[in-house]
Structure 1
Amino acid sequence: MRRIILGLLSFMILFSGCESENAKPQSDIELKKEIQEINSFIQKNPIPFVKEYNNPNLGVRVFWTEISGTGKNPSFGDTLQVDYVARYLRSNWVLDTSIQSVAEDYGMSLSKRNFMPLEYIFGSSFGRLISGFEIVFPLMEEGDKVIAFFPSRYVDGNSGQSHLPTNAPLIFELELLEIKSEAEAD
């Protein structure tokens, strides 16, 4: 019952606004510029991929670099474990990662940091994580690896209320390591 209520609540939140409160300040003109930036980056830096998702209205593009074939997709309420590398589109510099070797390669501070996969309950990240994750993870299966491009309205950085820069599209390398259903997590 709890799973059904969480699913309905998440569904209503997801489709009532289709974007976070932080996303509203970004104008359609800024979004179009960022979509052009993303498309230009991809054209100049071809990505070897086996599958693609492109939503031109949202500006979100996803390229699967590995497909697991597990057939196990996340559902609302599932606990996901994800390895990630977040990069600035404009400089390709690493902003954050869950992988220590990547942090070392980019000279990131290693002190006071535990490098481990991101773990969160799918559908409950609104306002806490990148809202674009709620677009991408339903498309993925456990074990898939993707490279996802998000305009700033889906990384919650355009409001100036987060640690992310204003109007900065990001690139995420994501690996969906594990999906634990609500029953398995209890």
Structure 2
Amino acid sequence: MKKLSLLLFAAVGLLAGCVSDDENVQIILERDLAQIEKYVNENPIPSVKELVDNGTGIRIYWTAVSNSGKKPVKADTVSVNYTGKLLNNFVFDTSIESVARANNVFSPNRKYEPLRYPIGLGFTIPGFEFGILQMEQGDKATIIMPSLYGYGSQVTGAIPANSPLIFELDLLEVKKIKVEDPLP
């Protein structure tokens, strides 16, 4: 019996080793998309505008559209308030103190203020950047992304590996990059 169990264990290990990384990514993406679809069906997000990027599976639901015309481009500095959640609505991070307190994630050692950073230079996860780049200053939106565009297979704090993520974003400011005048 012991030999049979060991043989079965070895066979499973061998078969698991035959699956390529690309196939694993595709399997995880398909699972994420199914979980996101289920979440959206069970938790409708009121929106005035929607975007589903079929290439990435990222969904954006605008709750407010400003029509400011100030859309960020690479290297512009953006200021954004955000709340990050898992698909079970567990808040894992926020830039808003009242939200942190209400969801028991408040840290007295942290300064709660809008996140300010140059967009498109890899300072945040890809799905977050993708969402911000679709917005205009003054827009508010909920972004839902497959784990591939979040933290992937990494465990990050309270975020389990391969977790699709939700971010509620409020794009407060887009500060355009200044291009110096060309030399004469």
Cα distance in 1 for residues equivalent to 2:24 and 2:80? 28
Q: Which runs of 4+ in 1 moved over 3 A?
A: 23-26
Partner of 2:70: 72
**Compared CA separation, residues 25 and 93, structure 1 to 2 (3 A):** farther
Alignment match of 1:27 (pick from 20, 25, 28): 25
- The number of equivalent residue pairs is 158
Q: CA deviation at 1:158?
A: 1.5
Partner of 2:110: 113
Higher relative contact order (CA 8 A, sep 6+): 1
Paired residue secondary structure (2:63):
strand
**Compared CA separation, residues 179 and 104, structure 1 to 2 (3 A):** same
Normalised by the length of structure 2, the TM-score is: 0.80
Greater Rg by CA: 2
1:175 aligns with 2:170: yes
Asked if structure 2 preserves the Cα contact closer than 8 Å seen for 1:84 and 1:117, the reply is yes
Paired residue secondary structure (1:136):
helix
Cα distance in 2 for residues equivalent to 1:118 and 1:26? 33
Asked if structure 2 preserves the Cα contact closer than 8 Å seen for 1:84 and 1:173, the reply is yes
1:72-111 aligned within 5 A: 72-89=70-87, 91-111=88-108
1:109-148 aligned within 5 A: 109-125=106-122, 128-148=123-143
Coordinate RMSD, CA, aligned: 1.9
Cα distance in 2 for residues equivalent to 1:132 and 1:155? 6
Asked if structure 2 preserves the Cα contact closer than 8 Å seen for 1:25 and 1:159, the reply is no
Q: CA deviation at 1:26?
A: 5.2
- The residue type equivalent to 1:144 in the other structure is D
Question: What residue ranges of structure 2 are gaps of 5+ in the alignment?
Answer: 1-20, 180-184
Normalised by the length of structure 1, the TM-score is: 0.79
Asked if structure 2 preserves the Cα contact closer than 8 Å seen for 1:52 and 1:62, the reply is yes
Cα distance in 1 for residues equivalent to 2:145 and 2:23? 16
> Once the two structures are aligned, what percentage of the paired residues are identical?
39
Partner of 1:19: none
Question: What residue ranges of structure 1 are gaps of 5+ in the alignment?
Answer: 1-22
Cα distance in 2 for residues equivalent to 1:114 and 1:26? 39
- The residue type equivalent to 1:154 in the other structure is Y
Partner of 2:15: none
